[in-house]
Amino acid sequence: MTAPATPLMSLTWTDHVTGRHGYLVVDRLVRGVSSGGLRMRQGCTLDEVAGLARGMTMKEALHYNPQGRYIPLGGAKGGIDCDPQDPQAYGVLVRYLRAMRPYIESFWTTGEDLGLTQDLVDRAAEEAGLVSSIQAVYPLLDDETAARRRLADAFAVDVDGIGLDELVGGCGVAESVLAALDRAGVPYEGTRVSVQGLGTMGGATARFLARAGLRVVAVADVKGTVANPEGLDVDALLAARDAYGTVDRSALREADRELPGDAWLSADAEVLVPAAVSYAVDAANQEQITARWIVEAANMPVLPEAEELLARRGITVLPDVVVNSGTNAWWWWTLFGDIDANADEAFAYTRRSMRALIDQMLARAEADGTTPRAAAHAIVADRLPVIAERFGWYR
Ligand SMILES: NC(=O)c1ccc[n+]([C@@H]2O[C@H](COP(=O)([O-])OP(=O)(O)OC[C@H]3O[C@@H](n4cnc5c(N)ncnc54)[C@H](O)[C@@H]3O)[C@@H](O)[C@H]2O)c1
């Protein structure tokens, strides 16, 4: 059975204190459970959340490994229409989670996404009376105590001052870039990268790519773009971030330049990594892009019309559903026991899985004569009925 075009359920919540809206979309269940983060941003819409929930269904299915302990869940997503830096934001978050409590307790596992950190989600979830933001999956575990301990231990792992949970996603994005370069026979050394967003995803992606020898020539955050054709000091920028991923400009070196917010897009670079907001690349601004690859660390950063125009110009978009799927998969690999609470093991497993997925997707795109996104969708379409057949929608 294939997934219906409309989500299993979608709802709009209104905060009785501020009048702000929040959304929950459950695209699909597998064994009665779904997975998908919670984002908070001014202007967040139900449509956006529905698109993200569908993307989660795909990410879960793409990581299906019949030999693995982790069995894919369904896809879901939450969204709150509020600026995360608004003084009322935390109260809105707690009330949203309180309202969503029955869903989180029974079938929606969630975590951090744009605008929220896992620490904040955990703190607000506790205040809302939840055991954990992923408690709905506990009944599916063989040994719940050991599994929860393993995940808690993994969250406590810190690498160079950054939590492992904030690095695995970017490790997967970086590996996607490297796999594409390898396939095209392009050396890492000197390949230039421009990144939009230096938060969890963008920051970690920049870190892993710089370590692989690529030159990060531009990064944008909410305050604008910083650039240096000779390469930015990525570690210094990461250390100068606040909790929202905004870089303190006093950390810039003399040769670094401050440019307008959209300058990351037209940077002279081979690889663009949008790692901030959805809909960043549209039909109009795609004209400024000269890169050869756009690697979607963010969810839905490239609009379909833009992707079509980019494809005509020979620019390849590696799609979000594959590229940024590492964080979600890492949670489950760890919880279900495919890997231990160990950074080296997590990075190695993430790299191996992401490379296999990227290779499979690019090979399929070549064979079918389609875009990588169409190829990823085709792989998902093959896989969803297999998962539904084996595990069912409801437990
Ligand atoms: N965090 C995760 O685990 C995860 C996993 C998969 C996908 N994603 C996706 O990656 C994207 C980023 O998520 P995150 O968790 O890294 O967010 P984050 O809040 O940690 O960081 C966001 C970054 O983007 C910057 N930013 C925000 N608005 C901007 C704008 N208009 N222009 C330029 N920069 C802007 C911020 O300054 C910050 O540097 C989102 O689309 C999210 O859905 C996140």
pLDDT tens for 333-356 read 999 999 999 999 999 999 999 999
Most distant CA pair in the chain, distance: 60
Question: Which residues of the chain carry a pLDDT beneath 70?
Answer: 1-4
Closest protein CA for atom 24 of ligand 1: 197
**In the prediction, which pLDDT does 39 show?**
97
CB 54 within 8 A of CB 75: yes
Pocket perturbation via mutation, ligand 1, pick of 35, 41, 83, 201 by most ligand atoms within 8 A of CB? 201
**In the prediction, which pLDDT does 253 show?**
98
Q: Give the CA radius of gyration of the chain.
A: 20
**In the prediction, which pLDDT does 4 show?**
55
Which of 328, 366, 199 is closest to 276 using CA atoms? 199
CA of 57 relative to ligand 1 center, distance in Å: 20
Q: In sequence order, what are the residues at sequence separation of 6 or more whose Cβ sits closer than 8 angstroms to the Cβ of residue 132?
A: 122, 125, 138, 148
Which atom in ligand 1 lies closest to the alpha carbon of residue 246? 37
CA of 202 relative to ligand 1 center, distance in Å: 7
Residue 299, H or E segment: none
CA of 142 relative to ligand 1 center, distance in Å: 34
Closest protein CA for atom 12 of ligand 1: 276
Residue 393 CB: number of other CB atoms within 10 A? 15
Q: Report the C-alpha dihedral over residues 175, 181, 184, 189, rounded to 10 degrees.
A: -150
Question: In angstroms, rounded to a whole number, what is the distance separating the alpha carbons of residues 80 and 24?
Answer: 9
Closest protein CA for atom 1 of ligand 1: 113
CA of 369 relative to ligand 1 center, distance in Å: 32
Closest protein CA for atom 31 of ligand 1: 222
CB 342 within 8 A of CB 316: no
Pocket perturbation via mutation, ligand 1, pick of 40, 114, 328 by most ligand atoms within 8 A of CB? 114
By annotation, the residues acting in catalysis are 77
**In the prediction, which pLDDT does 1 show?**
41
| DSSP string computed for 300-322 | S-B-HHHHHHHHHTTPEEEPHHH
Closest protein CA for atom 4 of ligand 1: 113
Lining residues, ligand 1, CB within 6 Å: 39, 112-115, 169, 196-202, 220-222, 244-246, 261, 275-278, 297-299, 324, 327
CA of 390 relative to ligand 1 center, distance in Å: 35
Beta strands in the chain (DSSP E): 9-14, 21-26, 34-35, 38-41, 74-81, 108-109, 158-159, 162-163, 192-196, 215-221, 224-227, 257-259, 271-274, 293-295, 316-318
Which atom in ligand 1 lies closest to the alpha carbon of residue 84? 19
CA of 298 relative to ligand 1 center, distance in Å: 6
Mean pLDDT estimate for the chain: 96
Closest protein CA for atom 9 of ligand 1: 298
